[in-house]
Chains A and B, each alone.
Chain A
Amino acid sequence: MLAKRIIPCLDVKDGMTVKGTNFVNLRQAGDPVELGRTYSMQGADELVFLDITASHEGRKTFTDMVQRVAATLSIPFTVGGGINELKDVERLLSAGADKVSINSAALRRPELIDEIASHFGSQVCVVAIDARQDENGWTCYMNGGRIPTERNLFDWAKEANERGAGEILFTSMNHDGVKTGFANEALNRLASTLTIPVIASGGAGAKEHFRDAFLQGHADAALAASVFHFGEISIPDLKEYLRGEGISVRR
């Protein structure tokens, strides 16, 4: 049976991992390659490395890190951050990444999704969506959640799906960093309208939250950062718990 995936996410700045709470206040949490290897040994199913460096030199440092990750790890990993054109995708895939995650660049120029899908295949293209719910519904944001767009979460996710995205990584900005659970209603709606896997992100604080994202949100995978980085939840414990709840996870 296809397993639900547990995905630790590592935000990387100048070669070191960091994690923000509600997208600000970065805290330092270690060497990404070492941390990635630890997670892999603990049973993480996949990893995401997000480059939050803005500078040109930072880009190069990140690419070098991707090469080291590829040489070290034997599980799939996705990289994102600062991907604006096919050239960036090519550079990161050549460094050994399995998938790339695009966010603001796809909102600015949706054709990028079609281009990645036709050049490298849909399985390579993860479209990350940061969205916030207010009285008008779910609105997509750009630039790490700083700039609101005109787009609605569900319309944009459907368009990304149709353009050839391989997966949707949905982060609820309302839930991110708050540790009270994932946005299960929105996840459920995405899962029932899309034909591609949905990765839940934002809000993990307890093991039950992962269960709910899978059982209520019907997510295919769940991503979290700080609960793993700071040891609040260990991956083996989490998987044992989920198995006990009748959810298929990889041993």
Chain B
Amino acid sequence: MEILSNLALGFGVALSPLTLILAVVGCFLGTIIGALPGLGPSNGVAILIPITFTLGLDATAALVLLTSVYYGAMYGGRISSILLNIPGDEPAMMTTLDGYPMAKAGRAGDALVISGVASFVGALLATLALAMVAPYLARIAYKFGPAEYFALYALAFATLGGMASNNQAKAALASFIGLAIALIGLDNNSGFYRFTGGNLHLADGVDFLVAIVGLFAVSEVFVFIETHGKASAVGVKLGKVTVPWAEMWSTRWTMLRCSAVGFVAGVLPGAGASLGSFMTYMMEKGIAGDKGGFGTGVAKGVAAPEAGNNAAAGGALVPMLTLGVPGSGTTAVLLAVLMTLNITPGPTLFADRPEVVWGLIASLLIANFVLLAMNVPMVKIFVKVLMVPPAILLPGVTMISFVGIYSLSGSYFDLVLMIVFGVMGYVFRKMDIPTVPVILGILLGYQMENNLRHAMTLSDGDWTYLFASPIAAVLWIAAAVGFIAPMFLRGVLKRPQAPESAIED
């Protein structure tokens, strides 16, 4: 019953008026961010980070706000998938397959309600599972020494890189570029400056928030300038929204199965929400067989990926909180938040700062109920937001990014650096080089090097020490498998693309 007392502690923290208001604001902003094509959970959270800090919120309050945005964006992604056949963010891609056919058949309201409830079921069960699993994993993590942590970081890069790109060489390159950027600046152990080229602005290193906002938000502007915002959403129509109880009830097992599978997919480092929704959709399609009519607009086809990706979003918090290793791009961004707040995620977090961990979990539970209310009865508000033309939205996002970064340091240099990262993000996206490993490298580079140096000093320079313990060996093997396996699986698990032609009509 330890979990109940822990949750009681959490609700004690989370049920203050300020955190409740922040949760509601975060859920609202998050749903909008998720619904807008071109803004997903990672860039949405990224833009809001600097602003959160300048507001002077404490650690718990900042986390509540940003994780509510995170969960909200996962809910919101489905709205544009269903109405426009454009995924609001990547994990919502599978929802287009049955959601858009339902909308075309005049059942957009039903699709939104069913997928909203599926999101709720997935996210709620995953949050409860997080509360149960995380403390145990934190206990195992106490056994980790520097060699194990180094192996764990390697595993995170291998699996995240392996999943994120179609080309392993490009994923590996992105990781190394991130690590190289992390090494710029003062080396705390030796007191030497490295790779600054004599530039004083680089002496403190590259702030990962600058990199994140540049890669995720500024690069988006370039994409929209090139395409002239073709993916805009003018002319969306949605009739009266009613709740199709019987049809929803028929998807109950789908929702439960997909929540379980999605959670596991989320916990695996690197797999994340996109894989969660993909796996659950394919699983349900297989179970339903040809008679299931998947792809023609059936309720199970929207329930499965939405339960899956929201459960994965909760699952991805497990490795982030217990080990300090993010399981997805957005949790990498959340890790950046924690590090900026001087909170080191990992096993000690559960012992030293229980109010942060359990306050976070409690506020996630609250956020879920807020989101259910916003996304089912109030869904029409967000449909209106979809009509904001990109010619207003993207300049707005850019200006917010500039002010956010400027308010952190007040330095023009960081702004220029952010633009450089924006250009880099655009070019990388064109070349199909994933940007998430770059972020991960910048975030983890310092700790990865420290653990390696620590391990080598302990072993007096014996490199086999890195593979000596059973935990480390298992992690290395998992890393190798995670990096190599996608090369072979890619042919088998070819992702179905949303039909391009459907966007035009």
The answer to whether A and B belong to the same complex is no
Chain B interface residues toward A at CB < 8 A: none
